[in-house]
Amino acid sequence: MLNTRFDFSRLRTLTRFLNGSDARTEDRRPGARVLCVASGKGGTGKSIMASNVAVLRSQRGERVLLVDFDAGLANAHLLLGLAPRYDFGHVLDGSIQARDAIVVGPLGLSLISGGVGRHALANPTRRELELLFDALRPLEQEFDLIIVDLGAGLSYSTVAHLAAGSTLLLVTNHEITALSDAYALYKRAHMVNPHIRVGMVVNRAPDEAQAMSAWERFKATSFQFLGHHPELVGWVPADEAVLRSVQARKPVSLTEPDSRAARAMAKVAAWAPIEVARTTSAFYERARKALR
């Protein structure tokens, strides 16, 4: 459900500040690449995808930070078998700096948890988001890749991230409801950021035929009404290995790397645009500007 406290039309599109200058030297230094991972609705396996991609990129030797921005309803720590002492709530109330909320997971992967059961985090105000973005900004100099696991749907924080980013991984299922909500998110992403590069993954598909059928319907609808469509990154089969990994609280890429799902996720993690998912200025500075 949209956060009606805000007017989404006030979010600046990416093109309005692509050429904006920033006098601060730190914003001109190259920072981390940033990959946003989002879905139109819950239950698509988005967080499972984000955590596995993060682990697989860490396996390559990259310094990876997974930011669970499904604030208030976070579960990335559970999928990684971690028990963070701190989360965004502690950062927001000034108890700690964002760096102190980091916990180290499998293969050296770093995680900041969004927290669980915090109402304020589930519906943050603009001021609260500004504080979080300011807190996260310094971390861009400490990592090679930041993967942001966004909350499902079109919350204010999700749209601000989309307005700031260069690269989005859109996770959906083959069901019509998931495709419809994914289309809404894709449309919104291009409204606030015409230059964003979007890759789509059809997750938990029964078979290739149904995955490709879902993709063709999505592509045709997008092109008909928007004049463009995302790139198909791939499809991931429904696989009991994933269910076992969730129960074990370890990514399937580590528990059963030869499973069908894990092999498919490895292809997603190798999506070429991730290598160049960098913006012309600091990502979280752009996200902060997008709130105005």
Residues of the chain predicted below pLDDT 50? 1-6, 8-28
Q: What distance in Å separates the CA atoms of residue 77 and residue 244, rounded to the nearest whole number? A: 16
What is the per-residue pLDDT across 54-85, written as a single tens digit (0 to 9) for each? 999 999 999 999 999 886 577 899 999 999 99
User: 237 has which bridge partners?
Assistant: 205
The pLDDT value recorded for residue 115 is: 78
CB 49 within 8 A of CB 236: yes
Q: What distance in Å separates the CA atoms of residue 130 and residue 172, rounded to the nearest whole number? A: 29
What is the per-residue pLDDT across 234-270, written as a single tens digit (0 to 9) for each? 999 999 999 999 999 999 999 999 999 999 999 999 9
**CATH assignment, 38-290:** 3.40.50.300
**Predicted structure pTM score:** 0.89
The pLDDT value recorded for residue 18 is: 39
What is the per-residue pLDDT across 38-50, written as a single tens digit (0 to 9) for each? 999 989 999 999 9
Alpha-carbon separation of residue 260 from 51, 80, 266 (angstroms)? 17, 20, 10
Rg (CA), the chain: 18
The pLDDT value recorded for residue 2 is: 37
CB 48 within 8 A of CB 149: no
The pLDDT value recorded for residue 4 is: 37
Q: What distance in Å separates the CA atoms of residue 85 and residue 260, rounded to the nearest whole number? A: 34
Q: Where in the chain are the domains? A: 38-290
DSSP 130-194: HHHHHHHGGGGGT-SEEEEEEPSS--HHHHHHHHH-SEEEEEE-SSHHHHHHHHHHHHHHHHH-T
The pLDDT value recorded for residue 70 is: 80
SS3 call for 65: strand
Q: Which of 72, 65, 74, 71 is nearest to 47 (CA)?
A: 74
Helix, strand, coil abundance in the chain, percent, nearest 5: 50, 15, 35
Give the CA dihedral 198, 69, 133, 147, nearest 10 degrees: -50
Amino acid at 202: V
DSSP state of 25: G
The pLDDT value recorded for residue 71 is: 66
